[in-house]
Amino acid sequence: MYLGLLITGLIWGEGHTAPWVIAIDAGHGGEDTGGIGVDGLIEKNIVLQIAHLIALEASSFPNIKIILTRSDDRYLSPAERIIRAQGAHFFISLHLDFSYDPRLRGITALVPTNSGDSARELAEILRKHLTRATKATDLGTKRAPLWLRRLSIPAVQVKLGFITNPEEARKLGQLPYQRPLAQAILEGIREFVLSLPTSIVLDPPRHPDAGAALRRVCSPHCGLRTSARSRERAYL
């Protein structure tokens, strides 16, 4: 079931104190605003605030270490996000939803089309905790051609609500709603890692594509930034 993790490296057994490392990826950033919703609420800002709250609240969760792919308002290509997630065992990307129908609301989890059981299981657990904590409508888990498929670790995208639904947008912009979202994600991570076999052998913290991705990012003529941005916009 957890074949994606069964590679050589760190042994997670009883009494092991090495932390689980989770990459939290605030979607969009910089000139890529993501969705702009009710009252001018901007997706990139809301998901960044929630990412920071997750990092802050993680101090109450022993054995969970958070890496933020971005900690400020800057655009990052998928390749740059992959590089910044090096060392993580799992990857969770934060987004909001957008619709021209203001009635639509709720929380969705997405997994890349090539994901295995681990990502699917993580998505289900995160969605359960998020909808339980917020009483938001549960829109299920879906498969989508996300750029996250390029990661070699289990990866999930969560859409934390509709920025175009007046009531949901109002709540998403406020700390008393953002904090339970952050805590629910941490509770979900904890439940997921506790569900893993205690004798599991984890992938060592590295990413095999990181070197190639770095070379592409650094190439002045590769055009990756433009193509990556359009690809991300198309799929998120």
Binding site for Zn ion (CB under 5 A): 27, 34, 95, 236
Instruction: Choose between 171 and 190: whose C-beta lies nearer to Zn ion.
Output: 171
- Which residues on adjacent β-strands are paired with residue 24? 68, 92
Shortest gap between Cβ of 28 and Zn ion (angstroms)?
A: 6
Instruction: Choose between 14 and 101: whose C-beta lies nearer to Zn ion.
Output: 101
Instruction: Choose between 89 and 159: whose C-beta lies nearer to Zn ion.
Output: 159
Q: Are 12 and 18 in contact (CB under 8 A)?
A: yes
Instruction: Choose between 182 and 202: whose C-beta lies nearer to Zn ion.
Output: 182
Q: 177: which 2 tokens?
A: 């709603």
Shortest gap between Cβ of 225 and Zn ion (angstroms)?
A: 18
Shortest gap between Cβ of 94 and Zn ion (angstroms)?
A: 8
If DSSP codes are grouped into helix, strand and coil, which group holds residue 20?
Answer: strand
- Which residues on adjacent β-strands are paired with residue 145? none
C-alpha distances out from residue 143 to 26, 49, 97, 100, Å: 20, 26, 15, 22
Q: Dmax of the chain from CA atoms?
A: 51
Instruction: Choose between 202 and 236: whose C-beta lies nearer to Zn ion.
Output: 236
* Cβ-based neighbours of 174, under 8 Å, separated by 6 or more: none
Amino acid identity for residue 93 in this structure: S
* Cβ-based neighbours of 214, under 8 Å, separated by 6 or more: 79, 83
Shortest gap between Cβ of 235 and Zn ion (angstroms)?
A: 9
Three-state DSSP string of 66-126:
EEECCCCCCCCCHHHHHHHCCCCCEEEEEEEECCCCCCCCCEEEEEECCCCHHHHHHHHHH
Instruction: Choose between 89 and 105: whose C-beta lies nearer to Zn ion.
Output: 105
Chain centroid to Cα 236, Å, comes to 12
Shortest gap between Cβ of 229 and Zn ion (angstroms)?
A: 12
Instruction: Choose between 31 and 117: whose C-beta lies nearer to Zn ion.
Output: 31
Shortest gap between Cβ of 83 and Zn ion (angstroms)?
A: 20
Shortest gap between Cβ of 47 and Zn ion (angstroms)?
A: 7
**Residue of minimal CB distance from Zn ion?**
95
